[in-house]
Amino acid sequence: MSAPGRIFAITSKELKQLYRDRPSFIMVAGIPLFMIILFGYAINLDVRNLSAAVANQSGSELSYQLVDELQASQIVHITRNVQDELELVKLLDTGKIKVGIFIPADFERRITDKSRNAVQIMIDGSDPSITRVARNITNLSFSAHTGQAVSQVGFFATRVYYNPESRSAMFIVPAVSGVILQLTMVLFTAIAIVRERERGNMEMLISTPIKRYELMIGKILPFIIIGLIQASIIFLTGFLLFDVYVQGTLLDLYTAALLFISAVLALGLLISTIAKNQFQAMQMTLFTLLPSIFLSGYMFPFDGMPQTAQWIGRMLPLTHYIALIRGIVLRGVAIRELPDHIHALMGFFVVFLLIAILRFKKQLD
Amino acid sequence: MVSNPAILAKGLTHKFGKLVAVNHVSLQIETGEIYGFLGPNGSGKSTTIRLLCGLLHALEGQVEVLGYNMPQDADKIRGQLGYMTQKFSLYEDLTVRENLDFLARVYSIRGKLRSTRILRALEKYQIADRQKQFVGTLSGGQKQRLALAAVTLHEPRLLLLDEPTSSVDPQSRREFWADLFELAAQGTTILVSTHYMDEAERCHRLAILDHGNLVAEGPPQTLIDDIDAIVIRVDTDRPAVAQKCLQQLNWIRSIAQLGKRLHVLVDKTATAPVQAILAELQQHRIDAKVTVAIASLEDVFVAATGYRKG
């Protein structure tokens, strides 16, 4: 007879405890609300507006009309005009565009010559889903100023760069390394300070001459080494099992990993100065991980995401790491060619660490 | 040469929300003395100690420790302070030796000095044979010796010990105090909080705290001599009944039962209290022997705090 009474006792106790654990209570409503809004923005399987550049050497009226029509197709969003093919390749290398459109000087003559391609479409093939979308360009029918539809096989020549076989593993494994590193690294440091507080070590520690920055940096350093070991395991496994080889240099690969590991460790440390206990620290870790997975370009093509989602995505270290690591692994680009992402990761590290140091007080009140 | 006081606090006040944890406490602790904080749980002992070592910021009042203003200059004197927290705060998943080594490094004890100091501490506090043992597996007494070894490794000038003996057996407590006297003899100033009377009695000077107020201060013997009450001893076969009947008298401040004996505190202004108590007991047909007794520190504590009031 007393079983329902005891069940009720447990239930009401749990609810009270949950209600009093404010951050957890907020997360009850916060997590679903925040996540569904983010994912609603990010989940966009209908990829459009791939960033593109044009090298129009023809300059004829017809060629401009072609560019206009490509733009109007919404498959590509043409952001720049360049001189030649080399510049297009460079933009593809640095990840600034996904599609390059090359219109040769003898464009008009080629139209009439059925044996030759009139326009060359260069595609960043890192992401097989983007390749698929970009190939749709070749199905467009192009109407000349005469009003006559020009739809001919071989009008467009496509050339897929970087991942010509469209292998998903080539594309996924480098990004997965980021997700794994973020999960483990953030968690390591997120519980680092909370744990000392929970176990009662913190009061002893803050009464010693140790300085705030010494404590913070001391907490980060060991995990940098652990992070680099993890990265090595991931890439070695990727190479041995999934045949993912690194086009760029190993030095660049490790530099990118180091930058990212530092940034996410500092993020974890920041969480550790906010969370009151290890459970909250884990919740907050999850809270930063999920948007990273969805908005970084890991799950959906970054280019295909709406502006708002891209803007939030740029606020996440993983976005920049994925941009770097795909550049290095797939396109073999030198890391110094991607300074924006390097600076972003450095910025995250410095800002997170500074806030963590400032938030951490050597006192109990 | 007159040395400066090790601790000088004036009007120290701290609140947690609406609760006044420390209420205008002023005290002066001289260099080289063992100064005790005696008070029940929640009397403000820990909070005062935390205010003194700069871990809490006082709402009001000034603190000077070793000539420096707290908490502003806390970082300048951390190396000269040793603070032992109430809860054991060393790393249970490190060995004895590793803990000491960690703290020695944190206090910048370098090179050969580090290993000599650690070895000396291990010997002195009889934990040399435990140095490879994980701290989590030590007994209460061993943990406490290790804590003292750790907190004295950097030879601090001032030790703040927050209920250091609350979880150890009497034998360990005696040894612990022998160690404290040795440290004090070497010139270390020691502030120690306790709720044990026998420990409080060992201090050079004592402050009794109650609800955040400093209610009495002085050397233990002086406090006993100057007790603001008369202590009356009642020997009887029916102590419980006697206590019940004496509780009716409103001029009695407190009654404590000790076996077959009652300890009764009455105001100094009471007229002929022994006769009055005897008369009251006889009225209830209780046989008893009533005499004036010599006060103990416990009586001082009860008189000062009003605890155990019948």
Find the residue in A nearest to B77 (Cα): A209
**Which comes out higher in pLDDT, residue B221 or B251?**
B221
Burial class (CB in 10 A: 0-12, 13-18, 19+), B127: buried
At A145, the pLDDT band (50, 70, 90 cuts) reads very low
At B94, the pLDDT band (50, 70, 90 cuts) reads very high
Spatial neighbors of A339 by CB under 8 A, at least 6 apart, are none
Stretch B171-198: mean pLDDT: 92
Over chain A, what is the mean pLDDT? 87
At B170, the pLDDT band (50, 70, 90 cuts) reads confident
Spatial neighbors of A143 by CB under 8 A, at least 6 apart, are A69, A149, A150
pLDDT of B4 > 70? The answer is: yes
**Residue A165 touches partner B, C-beta closer than 8 Å:** no
Share of chain B above pLDDT 70, in %: 98
Spatial neighbors of A343 by CB under 8 A, at least 6 apart, are none
pLDDT given at position A113: 77
pLDDT of B309 > 90? The answer is: no
Domain-wise residue ranges, chain A:
50-161, 168-359
pLDDT of B36 > 50? The answer is: yes
Stretch B267-273: mean pLDDT: 85
Q: Which among A201, A209, A211 has CB closest to B89?
A: A201
Stretch B245-250: mean pLDDT: 85
Identify the DSSP state of B306: -
pLDDT of A16 > 90? The answer is: no
Least confident of A181-195, A321-335, B165-179: B165-179
Domains of chain B: 7-223 (3.40.50.300), 228-294 (3.30.70.100)
At A27, the pLDDT band (50, 70, 90 cuts) reads confident
pLDDT of B98 > 60? The answer is: yes
pLDDT given at position A321: 97
Stretch B30-35: mean pLDDT: 94
pTM, two decimals, is 0.84
Cα of B243 vs its chain's centroid, Å = 30
Facing residues of A142 across strands?
Answer: A150
pLDDT of B87 > 70? The answer is: yes
Peptide bond preceding A301 in cis form (omega within 30 of 0): no
pLDDT of B42 > 90? The answer is: no
pLDDT given at position A157: 87
The amino acid present at B203, given as its one-letter code, is: C
pLDDT of B247 > 60? The answer is: yes
- Half-sphere exposure in the Cβ direction for A31 (13 Å, CA): 14
Find the residue in A nearest to B91 (Cα): A201
Q: Which residues from A are below 8 Å from B74, CB to CB?
A: 362
Q: Which of B16, B19, B94, B106 to mutate to test the interface with A (most CBs of A within 10 A)?
A: B106
The winner for highest mean pLDDT among A196-200, B204-208, B265-269 is B204-208
Q: Which among A200, A208, A362 has CB closest to B106?
A: A208
pLDDT of A149 > 80? The answer is: no
Find the residue in A nearest to B92 (Cα): A199
CB contact (8 A) between residue B81 and residue A362: no
Q: Which of A195, A205, A208 to mutate to test the interface with B (most CBs of B within 10 A)?
A: A208
pLDDT given at position A49: 84
**Topology given in CATH for the domain delimited by A50-161:** D-Maltodextrin-Binding Protein; domain 2 (3.40.190)
CB atoms near residue B200 (< 10 Å)? 24
CB contact (8 A) between residue B87 and residue A201: no
Residue range B101-128, pLDDT digits in tens: 999 999 999 989 999 999 999 999 999 9
CB contact (8 A) between residue A207 and residue B53: yes
**Residue A210 touches partner B, C-beta closer than 8 Å:** yes
Q: What count of CB pairs under 8 Å joins A to B?
A: 52
Stretch A106-132: mean pLDDT: 85
CB contact (8 A) between residue A201 and residue B90: yes
Closest to B251 (Cα-Cα) out of B272, B282, B225: B272
Over chain B, what is the mean pLDDT? 90
Structure tokens belonging to residue A159: 């050339």
Least confident of A8-12, A187-191, A336-340, B167-171: B167-171
Write the ipTM.
0.85
Least confident of A148-157, A276-285, A323-332, B193-202: A148-157
User: What is the distance in angstroms between the CA of the first residue and the CA of the last residue of chain A?
Assistant: 48
pLDDT given at position B269: 84
Stretch A297-316: mean pLDDT: 86
pLDDT of B3 > 90? The answer is: no
pLDDT of A81 > 90? The answer is: yes
Stretch A91-105: mean pLDDT: 91
Residue with the two structure tokens 């927050």: B162
pLDDT given at position B252: 87
CB atoms near residue B250 (< 10 Å)? 6
Minimal C-alpha gap between A365 and chain B (Å):
6
CA atoms of B191 and B87, how far apart (whole Å): 17
At B183, the pLDDT band (50, 70, 90 cuts) reads very high
pLDDT given at position A9: 87
Residue range A249-292, pLDDT digits in tens: 999 999 999 999 999 999 999 999 999 889 889 989 988 998 89
pLDDT given at position A1: 55
Interface list for chain B against chain A, based on CB atoms closer than 8 Å? 50, 53-57, 71, 74-75, 78-79, 81, 83, 85, 87-92, 103, 106-108
Residue range A196-255, pLDDT digits in tens: 999 999 999 999 999 999 999 999 999 999 999 999 999 999 999 988 889 999 999 999
pLDDT given at position A143: 62
Contact A199, A161 (CB under 8 A): no
Distances (CA, A) of B103 to A130, A200, A216, B90, B151: 56, 15, 17, 9, 8
Q: Are strands B213-218 and A76-82 parallel, antiparallel or unpaired?
A: unpaired
CA dihedral A129, A130, A136, A142 (to 10 degrees): 170
pLDDT of A299 > 90? The answer is: no
Find the residue in B nearest to A363 (Cα): B55
**Which comes out higher in pLDDT, residue A265 or A3?**
A265
Stretch B151-177: mean pLDDT: 90
